[in-house]
Amino acid sequence: MINILLRITYLLQEKDPPLVFKIILIILAVVTGLLVAFIVFRGLFLFFEMAFVEYVKKKQFFTHLHFFKNKLPESHKAILENEFAFYNKLNTKEKKNFEHRIQYFIKNWEFIGKDIEVNITMKVKIAATATKLTFGFRDYKIGVLDKIVIYPKAYFSNINQTFHKGEFNMSYKALVFSWEDFEKGYATEDDNLNLGVHECIHALHVSFLKSRKYSTSAAIFLDSFQELTTDIDENVVVKQKLLTSGYFREYAFENHFEFISVLVENFIETPSEFQSQFPKIYIKVKQMLNFNFAGY
Ligand SMILES: [Zn+2]
């Protein structure tokens, strides 16, 4: 390094530095200039977008901007078409974005089978669940996750000495599923129970809590939820109906984490009933997920 610096100093002292040296200097200056311009532009963009989200409307300036879209292998696409109703509800452009994004999860997550062989259907359906729930956001990668652990059936957890169907394990950066129960979530699409959706929302929620300061996606999700809970607290009639209607299972009222997950489970599985029973809460959940596609 010192040698290079000495050489540059020497060349700078020469009256007429070689042409190559001049070219290199110009290239370095241009690259540095572009880099600085990019950093400044990005900073300003995020600043204004955050101000827009916080004070004007819960919307990002853009959600999907993928210059080079990954194409999904036909075998994977067939699984989506046959087993993932949501995908079929998207238009052509949205499908291409979905196909691009799902591959991020398939490629970047480690899938670990415990007494079960992980197959491509498992990977596609779990990754598709994450892609669906984050489809309204630009920050879709769920930074708190890097692996998926799959058991064939409910598994014994040493943490609380009981059988689990699934969980988000924050310290292990993992979503854990009993495959039997994950499949049940999709077998009946309108019973407001979907293990994959439920656990994935826990991970997304924690991920957004960590990135709230700089992520407009996180701001939309968390601030909309804040608005939603404030609305409920201020409206005794709705609050009472929420607790007694039986539309939301009781587990929703354990704490805010479970409330968000159950809200989204119902939103995904029975949007029409949700909208007719709790129209204001429905709008807030839709805003929270920026879910303006597939008929929602
Ligand atoms: Zn939960």
What is the whole-number distance in angstroms between the Cα of residue 264 and the centre of ligand 1? 11
What is the whole-number distance in angstroms between the Cα of residue 202 and the centre of ligand 1? 7
Other CB atoms within a 10 A radius of the CB of residue 162 amount to 9
How does pLDDT run across 10-34, given as a tens digit for each residue? 666 666 778 888 899 999 999 999 9
Q: Are residues 159 and 50 in the same domain?
A: no
Q: Are residues 162 and 34 in the same domain?
A: no
Q: Are residues 132 and 15 in the same domain?
A: no
- Least trusted range by pLDDT, from 6-15, 38-47, 162-171, 259-268: 6-15
Q: Report the side by side order of strands in the sheet with 147-151.
A: 110-113, 147-151, 174-178, 166-169
Predicted local confidence at residue 158, as pLDDT: 81
How does pLDDT run across 102-113, given as a tens digit for each residue? 999 999 999 999
Instruction: Give me the residues paired with residue 178 across strands.
Output: 151
Quick check: helix, strand or coil at residue 66? coil
Per-residue buried b or exposed e for 255-280, using 16+ beta carbons within 10 Å of the residue's own CB? eeebbbbbbbbbbbbbbeebbebbee
What is the whole-number distance in angstroms between the Cα of residue 138 and the centre of ligand 1? 25
Instruction: pLDDT band for 2, please (50, 70, 90 cuts).
Output: low
Q: Are residues 285 and 180 in the same domain?
A: yes
How does pLDDT run across 124-157, given as a tens digit for each residue? 999 999 999 999 999 999 999 999 999 999 999 8
Instruction: pLDDT band for 160, please (50, 70, 90 cuts).
Output: confident
What is the whole-number distance in angstroms between the Cα of residue 67 and the centre of ligand 1? 36
What residues sit around ligand 1, an ion, with C-beta below 5 angstroms? 258, 261
Q: Are residues 123 and 207 in the same domain?
A: yes
What is the whole-number distance in angstroms between the Cα of residue 271 and the centre of ligand 1? 20
Give mean pLDDT, residues 228-244: 93
Instruction: pLDDT band for 70, please (50, 70, 90 cuts).
Output: confident
Among 255, 296, 141, 294, residue whose Cα is nearest residue 204: 141
Q: Are residues 23 and 94 in the same domain?
A: no
- Give the structural domain span for 206: 74-289
Instruction: pLDDT band for 96, please (50, 70, 90 cuts).
Output: very high
| Longest CA pairwise span in the chain (Å) | 87
What is the whole-number distance in angstroms between the Cα of residue 168 and the centre of ligand 1? 8
Residue 84 falls inside a structural domain: yes
Percent of the chain scoring above 90 in pLDDT: 88
Instruction: pLDDT band for 5, please (50, 70, 90 cuts).
Output: low
Percent of the chain scoring above 70 in pLDDT: 95
What is the whole-number distance in angstroms between the Cα of residue 27 and the centre of ligand 1? 54
Q: Are residues 102 and 34 in the same domain?
A: no
What is the whole-number distance in angstroms between the Cα of residue 261 and the centre of ligand 1? 6
Structurally, how many domains does the chain consist of?
A: 2
22-26, 74-78, 159-163: which has the highest mean pLDDT?
Answer: 74-78
Residue 66 falls inside a structural domain: no
Report d(CA 292, CA 289) in Å as an integer.
9
What is the whole-number distance in angstroms between the Cα of residue 98 and the centre of ligand 1? 26
Predicted local confidence at residue 192, as pLDDT: 96
Q: Are 163 and 151 in contact (CB under 8 A)?
A: no
Residue 103 falls inside a structural domain: yes
pTM: 0.88
